[in-house]
Amino acid sequence: MTDSNDPNNAALMDARRRGAGSSSQLLDSIIQGSNFDRDEVDRLRKRFMKLDKDNSGTIERDEFLSLPQVSSNPLATRMIAIFDEDGGGDVDFQEFVSGLSAFSSKGNKEEKLRFAFKVYDIDRDGYISNGELFIVLKMMVGSNLKDMQLQQIVDKTIMEADTDRDGKISFEEFTKMVENTDVSLSMTLGTTSLSFVRKPVTLRGLIRYQF
């Protein structure tokens, strides 16, 4: 029987409330839907519980940002938003594993590209608009570039990538644009760390521009 007072089970208990089924069934479902094996998921669960400081079974935005290696990443808020698949404002264990799955060494290139694409696709409509690209690149460059300079870069990037001339970048166009980028290498992490969040360059290199 699962002890609901055990903080180590809080993550699975919360996910169970959201999706029904026993904790063991849910764990099996999480494993089957990810690129991780049971041992890796167990290590991720322990990591999740360390982040879940209030033992609520979910990680809130402030709990994510309390980590120096997360808060120092200019794309941290975008990554948290991607992990939060249901838009509930927090990340449960199932979303946590699902989000990290693309970064597994067993994740294929398309999975990694789709995660990278989501970083720029803020409204989740399946396209990267001029405005979305500007917002995300602004997060990365900060005050290093004037807005006018950055807008020129955004316009040029859209013009080069937008082969069907609809004014935005589709996933297919995005894939062609970054085809020479070693996404598999730059978006891979170990299951015991969140070191990937320290390096905005892992996504930064997907857009070609000069400082």
Q: What is the pLDDT of residues 77-103, one digit of tens each?
A: 898 899 999 988 899 999 999 988 988
Q: Regarding predicted confidence, which is higher, 144 or 7?
A: 144
How confident is the model at residue 69, as a pLDDT? 66
DSSP 196: G
Q: Regarding predicted confidence, which is higher, 172 or 4?
A: 172
Confidence of residue 27 (pLDDT cuts 50, 70, 90): confident
Rounded CA-CA distance 128/99 in Å is: 20
Q: What is the pLDDT of residues 138-163, one digit of tens each?
A: 998 899 999 999 999 999 999 999 99
Rounded CA-CA distance 82/124 in Å is: 9
Q: What is the pLDDT of residues 57-81, one digit of tens each?
A: 999 988 888 877 677 788 888 988 9
The tally of CA atoms less than 13 A away on the side-chain side of residue 98 is: 18
Structural tokens at position 25:
């069934």
Set out the domains of the chain in order of their start, with CATH numbers: 8-101 (1.10.238.10), 109-204 (1.10.238.10)
CB 9 within 8 A of CB 24: no
Residues 67-72: contacts with CB under 8 Å, at least 24 apart: 67/194, 67/197, 69/194, 69/195, 69/197, 69/198, 70/194, 70/197, 72/198
Q: What is the pLDDT of residues 172-206, one digit of tens each?
A: 999 998 877 766 555 655 444 444 443 433 334 44
Q: Residues 114-132: what's their mean pLDDT?
A: 95
